[in-house]
């Protein structure tokens, strides 16, 4: 295309040259007519000859240009120029000869025309040179383009061949993968068939197992019903006897290297036996056996949930309007606080009790029951009652009115959700008094009393109930000789032992059925007065340590709890009445 465009431009230029020479020829014809008027025959002949040459020159030039031989005909242009030049001289000579007949004006016109013709011829000559150079350049460019095209084509061919080879290799790999996938698919289909058959077999087994499971569930329901009946009978028997139920929990060993050769602890579901080796004369040993009976014994392997499950039926009875009191007793470090409070990821009796009460109340609310939950949390420290829910500096005193116990200037919080309880419970634990002793790095130096009061009202039957739950973590008993307390800790230990001794005296008075019981000898016994007068269902959990160094305290705790088990409080009654 590029060369075609160049050829068309050359043809246009040739057409322009042809037009110029046609114009020149017409003007020469006009000049010939003028020369004819002069009348010189010899001059006319010469003019005719030159005119014929001029006429033939453009045609020759055009033919040569069209044949792309412009460079070869430069001499024709030169001859044309010389001819015109000679013509000029001839005319000049003729002008001299015929000056009389030729006017000066016409000759000047002729000279001007000849000069113009010369200029145009020179321009044509320069253009022809340029066109020749363009043709040469175009040929060179064409040759270079041909080389580049060949190189590009060869490159494309090589790349195309490489690409074809790669495609072949990929295609072979894809075919291999396809065959592998086909084989894998066949294997999977076989596996599916096998599994489908297994599923059918399992479904058959499932139907059989479901039948057995239904039978087991029915048996479990019956067993649960029997257990409930058994518990109710036990409760009725205990209520009739009015006894304090006593559970014992044995803490796991803290010291793995404890010398246990001098003693041995054996336990069953309701019995603990301690076999103590006592050195006699002549390097002989006597075995002294201590036997203790309980309503329930929890070994070191028992967890928090197992302990709570055993008392949960009693906890739920507060929703029936009963008063329930559970207190943990034992020496320092025996696990009382862990049993009652627990830890965040393994809660104790207090948080588990509140959580279950909320769950059961949700079910009862479907039967038109409405609830109000009120909590308080105090500690008895050095015979002073301290409010743990608030930083209260007012003096708190115990009051008993109409079989109900309350504490003056104490904070009572109404809770609506389990989150409310958790927030107040954590705050109370942070406020409780603890200290470091020789026996325990974090010893509770006070008795803590958590109380949950529930007011129930049925909007349909107009029945009202009030249940009260007291959960008590007693401070640990300590021997001054072993605890090695000084100053403040000494005073704390003395007050703790005094209040626990008063508790023992009250228990002994109840066992002996004394006419006067010294409840006022300590704040602890005075606070528990209504619980010991047959107004509530009471459980004591005695916590003991299995370590040899604590053996004497363990035996003392077990003896005390055995005395408590003999105590008869009378039948507990529920606080239920109807609005008239």
Binding residues for ATP, as ranges, are 330-337
- The encoded tokens of residue 358 equal 């909320």
- The encoded tokens of residue 445 equal 């130096």
Residues 490 and 445 sit within 8 Å (Cβ to Cβ): no
Q: Rounded to an integer, what distance in angstroms lies between the CA atom of residue 18 and that of residue 372?
A: 123
Bridge partner list, 372: 455
Give the alpha-carbon dihedral of 221, 223, 228, 229, to 10 degrees: 120
Residues 443 and 356 sit within 8 Å (Cβ to Cβ): no
- The encoded tokens of residue 98 equal 């015929």
Residue 445: which of 494, 408, 409, 397 has the closest Cα? 494
Bridge partner list, 377: 450
Which CA distances in Å does 119 have to 54, 57, 89, 116, 126? 16, 17, 17, 5, 11
Longest dimension (CA), the chain: 189
DSSP class per residue in 456-474: EEETTT-EEEEEEEEEEEP
- The encoded tokens of residue 241 equal 């006897």
Residue 499: which of 515, 469, 520, 485 has the closest Cα? 520
Residues 314 and 537 sit within 8 Å (Cβ to Cβ): yes
Residues 263 and 288 sit within 8 Å (Cβ to Cβ): no
Q: Are strands 369-381 and 447-458 parallel, antiparallel or unpaired?
A: antiparallel
Binding residues: 330-337
Q: Rounded to an integer, what distance in angstroms lies between the CA atom of residue 353 and that of residue 347?
A: 10
Give the alpha-carbon dihedral of 414, 420, 426, 432, to 10 degrees: 0
Residue 248: which of 569, 562, 563 has the closest Cα? 562
Q: Rounded to an integer, what distance in angstroms lies between the CA atom of residue 429 and that of residue 434?
A: 10
H-run or E-run covering 493: helix 488-512
Q: Rounded to an integer, what distance in angstroms lies between the CA atom of residue 335 and that of residue 303?
A: 12
Q: Are strands 296-298 and 434-435 parallel, antiparallel or unpaired?
A: unpaired
Q: Are strands 245-250 and 537-544 parallel, antiparallel or unpaired?
A: parallel
């Amino acid at each position: 295309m590029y060369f075609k465009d160049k050829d068309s431009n050359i043809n246009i230029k040739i057409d322009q040259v042809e037009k110029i020479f046609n114009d020149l020829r017409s003007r020469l014809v006009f000049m010939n007519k003028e020369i004819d008027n002069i009348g010189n025959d010899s001059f006319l002949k010469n003019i005719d000859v030159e005119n014929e040459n001029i006429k033939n020159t453009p045609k020759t030039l055009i033919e040569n240009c069209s044949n792309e031989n412009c460079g070869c005909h430069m001499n024709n242009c030169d001859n044309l120029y010389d001819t015109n030049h000679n013509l000029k001289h001839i005319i000049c000579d003729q002008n001299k000869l015929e000056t009389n007949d030729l006017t000066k004006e016409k000759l000047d016109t002729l000279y001007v025309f000849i000069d113009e013709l010369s200029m145009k011829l020179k321009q044509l000559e320069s253009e022809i040179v340029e066109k020749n150079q363009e043709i040469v350049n175009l040929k060179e460019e064409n040759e270079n383009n041909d080389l580049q095209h060949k190189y590009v084509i060869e490159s494309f061919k090589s790349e195309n061949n490489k690409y074809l080879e790669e495609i072949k290799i990929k295609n072979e790999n894809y075919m291999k993968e396809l065959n592998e996938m086909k084989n894998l698919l066949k294997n999977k289909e076989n596996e599916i068939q096998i599994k489908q058959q297994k599923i059918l077999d399992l479904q058959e087994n499932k139907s059989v197992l479901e039948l057995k499971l239904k039978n087991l569930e029915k048996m479990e329901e019956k067993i649960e019903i029997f257990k409930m009946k058994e518990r109710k009978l036990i409760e009725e028997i205990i209520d009739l006897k009015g006894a304090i139920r006593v559970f014992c929990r044995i803490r796991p060993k803290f010291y793995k290297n404890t010398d246990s050769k001098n003693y041995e602890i054996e336990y069953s579901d309701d019995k603990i036996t301690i076999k103590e080796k006592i050195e006699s004369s002549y390097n002989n040993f006597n075995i002294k056996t201590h036997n203790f009976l309980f309503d329930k014994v929890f070994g070191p392997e028992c967890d928090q949930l197992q302990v709570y499950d055993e008392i949960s039926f009693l906890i739920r009875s507060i929703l029936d309007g009963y008063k329930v009191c559970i207190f943990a007793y034992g020496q320092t470090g025996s696990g009382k606080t862990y049993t009652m409070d627990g830890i965040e990821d393994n809660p104790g009796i207090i948080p588990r009790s509140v959580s279950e009460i909320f769950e059961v109340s949700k079910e009862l609310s479907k039967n038109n029951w409405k609830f109000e939950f009120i909590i308080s949390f105090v500690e008895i420290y050095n015979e002073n009652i301290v409010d743990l829910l608030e930083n209260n500096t007012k003096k708190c005193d115990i009051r008993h009115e109409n079989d109900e116990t309350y504490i003056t200037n104490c904070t009572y919080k109404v809770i609506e959700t389990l989150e409310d309880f958790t927030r107040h419970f954590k705050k109370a634990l942070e406020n409780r008094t603890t200290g470091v002793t020789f026996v325990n790095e974090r010893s509770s130096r006070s008795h803590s009393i958590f109380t949950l009061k529930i007011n129930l009202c049925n909007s349909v039957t107009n029945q009202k109930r009030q249940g009260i739950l007291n959960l008590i973590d007693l401070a640990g008993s300590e021997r001054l000789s072993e605890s090695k307390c000084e100053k403040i800790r000494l005073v704390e230990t003395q007050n703790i032992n005094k209040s626990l001794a008063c508790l023992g005296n009250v228990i002994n008075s109840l066992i002996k059925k004394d006419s006067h019981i010294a409840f006022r000898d300590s704040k602890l016994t005075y606070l528990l007065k209504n619980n010991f007068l047959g107004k509530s269902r009471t459980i004591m959990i005695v916590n003991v340590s299995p370590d040899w160094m604590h053996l004497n305290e363990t035996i003392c705790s077990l003896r005390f709890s055995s005395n408590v088990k003999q105590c008869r409080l009378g039948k507990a009654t529920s606080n239920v009445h109807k609005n008239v």
